[in-house]
Amino acid sequence: MREFVSVVCLFLLLITPGLAQDEPSPSASPNPNVKPQPTPAVLEFEPAPSASPAPLTETREVWRIGVAGSEPFVVREGQSLQGLSVEVWEALGQELGVKFELIAAESVSDVLQGVQDGTYDVGVGALSITSERATFVDFTQPYYDSSLGILTHARPPEKRATLQADFYGFAMAVGTMLVALTIVGTIFWLLERNSNSEQFPETVAHGVGNGMWMALVTATTVGYGDRAPITPLGRVLTGIWMLVTTVTLSSFTAWLATTLTVQKLEENVLNDASQLHGKRVAVVTGTTSEVFARHFTNQLLHVESYVVGIEKLNKGAVDALVYDYPVLRYYLSRNSDLPMRLAESTFALQDYGFCVKRGNPALSRLNVGLLRLLESGIIRDISEHWLSQKQATD
C-alpha cells in the first residue's frame, strides 16, 4: 500500500510541470515559436456627444459685423443698412441663431483691416475672394458669382468728329459730281446742238439740261435711250465719260462702304478687355479692378469710388471705367439717362464671400449655414430681388 501511494505521488509530480506550462503566468515571457491568436474585435458605433457650437469670440456674445460695399450689395438708407449682402448675412445669422449688430464701415479695405485686427468679427459686403486677401483673412463659401465689367460711352467722343468728317466728304463728292455733270452736259450740248437739235435744243437752259441728263444716265449705267449722241465727237466723249464714271462710282461706293464699316466699329468699341490697350481707364483704388485692369493698359486713373469714376467718364477724362459688373449694371438701371453703356463681355470672374479673422473656429459653422441657404434657394431669391427685379428697366 505504501508503495502504491509513492507511485501515485511520483506520477503527479511528473505531470504537474506540463499543466503549469499550458497556462503561463502574466509575467512569463511569450514563446517566440508560438504565434498568438488574434482576439476577435467587437465594433460598436455610438453617436458622438453633441458638442456646443464653437464661439465666434471668447469675449463677445453679440457679433460685430463690419459692412461696406456698393449698391446693390450694400444699400445705406439713413441709419439702416440693406442690400443683397446684408440680407444674405441676416438670413445666415438667423440660420445659426446668433446675435449681431451691423456696423457701417467707410470702405471694403476698412472692413478687411477691421476683421484682421479684431475690430469686427465678420466682414460683410461685396468682398471679392482673392489670393492676396486670403493671406490675412479667411473667407467663407462664396454666396454670389461676380465678374468685372467695362463701362464706356454710349457713343465715343471721337464718333461725332468722324460723322462730321464723313458728311463733309459726302458733300464734297456730291458737289464734285454736279460740277462734272454740268461741264460734261454743256460739252454734249455744244457738240450735238447743230446736228441733233431735237434732243439738244438751241436754248442754253434746255439744251444744257438735256446734256446733263444724258451724262447722268450714262454715268449710272441706266441708259434710258431718250438722249443719245449722233456726232462722232459726241460718241467719243460718251465712251470716255462711261469709262471715267465707272471707275469713279466704284471708288465712291467702296469709300462709302468703308466709312460705314468704320463707323460700325466705332460704335462697338470697347466690347471686351483686350480693347482696353492704349485707353485711359478709371479704377477704384484697393479693389480687384485695379489688379486686373493693369494687365491690359498702363494708363490707369485711380479714384476713390466708382461714382467718381463715372463722373470722370462722363466728363471725358477717361475712356472707360472698370469695376464690378453687377454694381455697374445696377447703377445704370437706376440712371438710365446717362449716355453710357456696359460692354457686352465681362472678364476676371470672381466670387463674393464673408470674411473672418484667420483661424477663427466659427468658420465651419458659417460655411455650413451658407451651404444650407444655397441649397434651400434662399440666396437665389435674395439675389433675384435685388438684381432682376430692380433692373427690369435695363
Determine the average pLDDT of the residues in 242-256: 76
Residue 21 lies in a domain: no
Residue-level pLDDT at 363: 95
pLDDT of 251 > 80? The answer is: no
Q: How many domains does the chain have?
A: 3
- Provide the pLDDT confidence category of residue 52 given band limits of 50, 70 and 90: very low
CA pair distance 6, 163, nearest whole angstrom: 137
Determine the average pLDDT of the residues in 28-47: 42
- Provide the pLDDT confidence category of residue 141 given band limits of 50, 70 and 90: very high
Determine the average pLDDT of the residues in 256-281: 70
Residue 1 lies in a domain: no
- Residue 262 sits in the same domain as residue 170: yes
- Residue 293 sits in the same domain as residue 337: yes
- Residue 257 sits in the same domain as residue 180: yes
Least confident of 84-88, 95-99, 124-128, 246-250: 246-250
- Is the entire prediction scored with pTM above 0.85? no
Residue 306 lies in a domain: yes
pLDDT tens for 159-194 read 444 555 566 767 777 788 888 888 988 888 888 888
- Residue 339 sits in the same domain as residue 281: yes
pLDDT of 359 > 80? The answer is: yes
**Which domain does 300 fall in, by range?**
152-156+270-348
CATH of the domain at 93: 3.40.190.10
pLDDT tens for 304-349 read 989 999 999 999 999 999 999 999 999 988 888 888 988 878 888 8
- Residue 113 sits in the same domain as residue 201: no
